Structure 1
Amino acid sequence: MKLMVQPDDGIEPLLTALRSAKTSILILIFRYDRSEIERALVEAVQRGVTVQALIAFTNRGEEKNLRKLEMRLLERGITVTRTADDLVRYHGKMFIIDRKELFLLAFNYTHMDITLSRSFGARITTPAIVAEAVKLFESDSHRTPFTSTVHDLVVSPTNARKELTAFIKGAKKQLLLYEMKISDPDFVKLLRDKMADGVDVRIIGRASPRASALPLRTMSMRLHARAILRDGKTAFLGSQSLRKLELEARREIGVIFTDGPAVKKMISIFENDWQKAQPAVQDSMETAMDIPVRRVAKIVAKHINVKPVVEQVLERVFDRRTSDVPFEPGEVAQTVRDAFREEIHDAVLLALRDMAAQAAQMQLLRKED
């Protein structure tokens, strides 16, 4: 197994893997704005590799870009299938080289996730896990039911709740988590119980108000990772957060592994991130304000015109004269807009909390007068 760390490793390990394919590439795409990936797939077809792309039917506002991608890939000789619409989302991120190497990713094929976010990926060659991933890919491509037979491949909604519950219950000394937004009440209770048993539980990321009692810190760097490190020996890495929706109503994919060097490296990175992170502050006022804040953030983000800025900045990065893959600033813009929405949510919430605190202080001063 080999670990990828973002933003340190960048896109090159993915391109190297795609270029190494000799017989086949199976790739699952949820969100995309990296033309290098598309170019590598096209080059694979040109050297005789069979390439099959499974494209998500939706990804929150980018359906048009996904449909454009499908057409471009089809025109270049790539077999394209689309996920069903039976689940809320097909959110997994993986590709498989020659049916021998599985690249399981916590990040999308986007500039935001790869170059500006903390995230991880894993190259796995364990035959049973790779075969299970191939089976999952083919099931979703043909829209047939998937039955889990390998516990270490964690698939929502098939076995994720069961396997992650068992994984966390097995902790004896420590649980370190990167979490996008933990909210599932069963997992919140389980982590609290582990803390009561003396297990060192620490979380970098976000959590719902019901999880406010958990030791939580937030990073200044954008986070796009879901990972759990257990007792310094075992790790989970995947696309699913500990949220009911992602465990039970979406296709999410993760893996449990015991590779010593990879786990140690993730722990080292976590400890460094933890030292730099700030304690998260959450209270009952935040709970009451969360719904209107989300609405405000959504409205504001919708009206942010990021496309011209994206075009200007990325034109300096890409040499479009040597690329036969069309550069789609709209795709990058949507990725940036989604990230802005998250940041706006937090900024608006912080501003409202400050205003509420100031109002409370003024009211207290009036009473004293």
Structure 2
Amino acid sequence: MMLVDQKELYVLAFNFTHLDIDHSRSFGLITRNPKLVQEAGRLFNADTKRQVYKPGHAKFLVSPVNAREELAAFVKGAKKELLIYDPKVSDRAILRLLNERLRAGVEIRVIGHVSGGRLPSRELKRMRLHTRVMIRDRRQAFLGSQSLRQLELDARREIGVIFRDRSAIAALLRVFKEDWAASEPAKRDAASDRLATKTAKKVAKVVRNNISAGPVVKQVVKAVRQKADKKLTKEVEQTVKAAVKVAIGDSVKKATKEAVKTIANTALEPEVAGGQKR
């Protein structure tokens, strides 16, 4: 996010790096909407002063404050079509909503990776994918830095906006159509993925029941306090704690799933006889 002279708001789904700007698919939005500009200023002032930010505009999405609620409502509101750019769609609650919309007859297409492999998706092949965008019914769009995954919805400061600008949405639709046509269907190792997901859930449950994240959380909070050289606000401490817990859970699930998939793919490989698969 960038504010210019308290008049223009730049919402960018990319970083100021050579890789993001010149070699990645991403988008940005420039707006002079006074309410959005004012809300962005309120957020910036609150964060720089380490004060609690309270959302004041439903179209200005901030993680971990109102982004989950507003993005869930955005998905629920899809009637005919929902087009998504997202490197990693994995949040369980959001996935449930997307699958509900799919069963209700909404056409959903995702450029990026989707956990579970149930939604129509393709992998962007022409370049690196770094944007987070949703286009709903060709009339409204979301653009921001939040991926539809728990860490970015619940434990990080991420920013996005929902808008209706016709020309901007038309441009997004044109690029999405080109990228979809040039991309390949996401690979689905159905059998191994089901086994890996099921096993990862079981392992994560065992970890949650038998290993306390408390000591790790305390160490991280202590380290952050020392780094900041001051007492942390309650909001910051809660954010740190949430981030650590999510990171531990994600690490366990990811490591378990990858290990099981590797083993499962080997086990499910057709037998080889005389150098040929049967």
TM-score (normalizing by structure 2): 0.71
Residue aligned with 1:214, SS: coil
- Is 1:131 equivalent to 2:50 in the alignment? no
Do the aligned partners of 1:102 and 1:123 also contact (CA within 8 Å) in 2? yes
Residue 361 of structure 1 aligns with which residue?
270
Residue 137 of structure 2 aligns with which residue?
231
Q: Show the 5 A alignment for 1:239-318.
A: 239-282=145-188, 283-286=190-193, 288=196
- Is 1:168 equivalent to 2:41 in the alignment? no
Unmatched 5+ stretches in structure 1:
1-93, 292-344
Cα 1:127–1:364 shift into 2, 3 Å? farther
For 1:197, which of 97, 104, 129 is the aligned residue? 104
Residue aligned with 1:161, SS: helix
Q: Deviations over 1:30-89 (max 9, x none)?
A: xxxxxxxxxxxxxxxxxxxxxxxxxxxxxxxxxxxxxxxxxxxxxxxxxxxxxxxxxxxx
4+ aligned runs moved over 3 Å, structure 1: 286-291, 352-359, 363-366
Do the aligned partners of 1:176 and 1:228 also contact (CA within 8 Å) in 2? yes
For 1:152, which of 55, 59, 65 is the aligned residue? 59
Shift of 1:245: 1.2
- Is 1:108 equivalent to 2:15 in the alignment? yes
Q: Deviations over 1:112-155 (max 9, x none)?
A: 11000000000011000000001101111111000001011110
**For the residues of structure 2 that align with 1:132 and 1:179, how far apart are their CA atoms?**
25
Do the aligned partners of 1:286 and 1:353 also contact (CA within 8 Å) in 2? no
Q: Deviations over 1:247-267 (max 9, x none)?
A: 111111000000001001101
Shift of 1:99: 0.3
Do the aligned partners of 1:237 and 1:255 also contact (CA within 8 Å) in 2? yes
Unmatched 5+ stretches in structure 2:
201-253
Shift of 1:356: 4.0
**For the residues of structure 1 that align with 2:69 and 2:137, how far apart are their CA atoms?**
19
**For the residues of structure 1 that align with 2:20 and 2:138, how far apart are their CA atoms?**
26
**For the residues of structure 1 that align with 2:142 and 2:157, how far apart are their CA atoms?**
17
Shift of 1:269: 0.5
**For the residues of structure 2 that align with 1:242 and 1:270, how far apart are their CA atoms?**
18
**For the residues of structure 2 that align with 1:253 and 1:153, how far apart are their CA atoms?**
8
Shift of 1:365: 7.7
Shift of 1:361: 2.2
Give the partner amino acid of 2:141: A
**For the residues of structure 1 that align with 2:44 and 2:273, how far apart are their CA atoms?**
61
**For the residues of structure 1 that align with 2:142 and 2:179, how far apart are their CA atoms?**
18
Residue aligned with 1:361, SS: coil
Give the partner amino acid of 1:213: R
Shift of 1:272: 0.7
Shift of 1:364: 7.5
**For the residues of structure 2 that align with 1:364 and 1:240, how far apart are their CA atoms?**
49
Shift of 1:208: 2.0
Residue 61 of structure 1 aligns with which residue?
none
- Is 1:185 equivalent to 2:92 in the alignment? yes
Cα 1:110–1:365 shift into 2, 3 Å? same
**For the residues of structure 2 that align with 1:190 and 1:359, how far apart are their CA atoms?**
32
Do the aligned partners of 1:104 and 1:238 also contact (CA within 8 Å) in 2? yes
Residue aligned with 2:73, SS: helix
Residue 118 of structure 2 aligns with which residue?
213
Shift of 1:227: 0.4
**For the residues of structure 2 that align with 1:355 and 1:166, how far apart are their CA atoms?**
37
Q: Show the 5 A alignment for 1:305-344.
A: none
Shift of 1:206: 1.1
Residue aligned with 1:204, SS: strand
Give the partner amino acid of 2:140: T
Do the aligned partners of 2:80 and 2:137 also contact (CA within 8 Å) in 1? yes
Shift of 1:358: 9.6
Do the aligned partners of 2:192 and 2:264 also contact (CA within 8 Å) in 1? no
Q: Deviations over 1:323-360 (max 9, x none)?
A: xxxxxxxxxxxxxxxxxxxxxx9xxx8xx869946982
**For the residues of structure 2 that align with 1:158 and 1:231, how far apart are their CA atoms?**
26
For 1:119, which of 16, 19, 26 is the aligned residue? 26
Residue aligned with 1:245, SS: helix
Cα 1:364–1:141 shift into 2, 3 Å? farther
